[in-house]
Amino acid sequence: MLEQLHQLKERALSELQGLSSVDALEKWRVAYLGRKGALTNILRSVGQLPVQERPTVGQEANLVKLALKQAYNEKAEAFKREETLRLLEQEHIDVTLPGRPVQPGYLHVSTQTLREIYAIFAQMGFQVLETPEVETDVNNFQLLNIPPYHPARDMWSTFYTTHEGVLLRTHTSPGQIRAMRMYCPETIRLLLPGKCYRYEAVTARSESMFYQVEGLAVGKHVTMGDLKGVLISFARQMFGADRRVRFRCSYFPFTEPSVEVDMDCIICGGEGCRVCKHTGWVEILGAGMVHPQVLRNGGYDPTVYTGFAFGLGPERIAMLKYRIDDIRYFFGNDLRFLHQFA
């Protein structure tokens, strides 16, 4: 019997050595240590032995059982360790990899263009003043020499509110009135930027909402020469030092004289192309000397003060600068467009 136990132990341990999986280990456990396992059978048969043999065999059997259990535990531990190592290897996290960058926010192309414009005019002493988008008919039209039923109103049809005489401004020019009334009799050099609205068909060239930047300078010796110098300087800083600028006679009710300002086409260099409608020139803004009545409406005596004003569209400027062929992209919220200015 003792010999049998000894052999069993040898066999079990050598089998255990060669096991290569958790499944095989479990089968091994059932075969030797299970309720119907080899060792259990031997232990059970101890009772049938002659009385004097029982203690030695029983003791030996228990020792074998302990030895097998311990060997089993060690093997199970080893498998567990291997498994952990394998997982660590497989699900390896390389903490030295740089993190995935978070896409930071950035400014809308209109805002970027506005800021470029502010920076250029800031060098010439212009400060930024924001004025309301919701305006009165009086400021938007009447104090700018556009009385009710004036035909010029056709150029500036807008959205009206349910309050009589309150509308969304069609241009930033009503800011001229507000600014003058705020600063009179000081001399002023201001940029009045902001959103404007027009009730009109939306096309590649015109939106119902867009930005404008109004410029206004009022003082005792402000001349048309100043107007030209400032605008030529702006065009060259914005679009390149060799830009040519031309001033064409025009009409606005609130300036006299009035001009429209063209720049040689940056797309074709003045040769003539689709963008400049084959004229070699593109219009970039409207301007003029502040009309004496508008100066008076702002509180300034037109026999003492003069001023110039201009109004430019940052989207138009950006379209020229970045060769964008449709103004609807600006507020269409298509990220493929917006990301290009990140």
CA 247 to chain centre: 38
Contacts of 206 (CB under 8 A, 6+ apart): 198, 200, 327
Which of residues 37, 175, 307, 311 is near ligand PHE by CB under 6 A?
311
**Footprint on residues 208-227 left by ligand PHE (CB under 6 A):** 214
Q: Shortest approach of ligand PHE to residue 99 CB, angstroms? A: 48
C-alpha angle 132/135/136, rounded to 5°?
Answer: 150
Backbone angles phi and psi of 21, in degrees to 5: -145, 160
Which of residues 287, 318, 324, 327 is near ligand PHE by CB under 6 A?
287
The nearer residue to ligand PHE, 286 or 314, going by C-beta atoms, is 286
**Footprint on residues 159-178 left by ligand PHE (CB under 6 A):** 171, 173
Which of residues 194, 288, 298, 314 is near ligand PHE by CB under 6 A?
288
Q: Shortest approach of ligand PHE to residue 339 CB, angstroms? A: 31
SS3 content of the chain, % helix, strand, coil (to 5): 45, 20, 35
Burial of 168 (0-12, 13-18, 19+ CB in 10 A): buried
Q: Shortest approach of ligand PHE to residue 255 CB, angstroms? A: 5
> Does position 194 bind ligand PHE by CB under 6 A?
no
CA distances 208 to 3, 53, 198, 201, 319, Å, are 103, 109, 5, 8, 17
Element (H, E) at 239: helix 224-239
CB 330 within 8 A of CB 319: no
Which of residues 305, 310, 329, 330 is near ligand PHE by CB under 6 A?
310
Q: Shortest approach of ligand PHE to residue 311 CB, angstroms? A: 3
The nearer residue to ligand PHE, 139 or 255, going by C-beta atoms, is 255
Q: Which stretch binds ligand PHE (CB under 6 A): 85-93, 119-127, 303-311, 334-342?
A: 303-311
CA distances 17 to 31, 80, 123, Å, are 15, 16, 86
* Residues lying near ligand PHE in the complex (CB under 6 A): 171, 173, 214, 252, 255, 286-288, 309-311
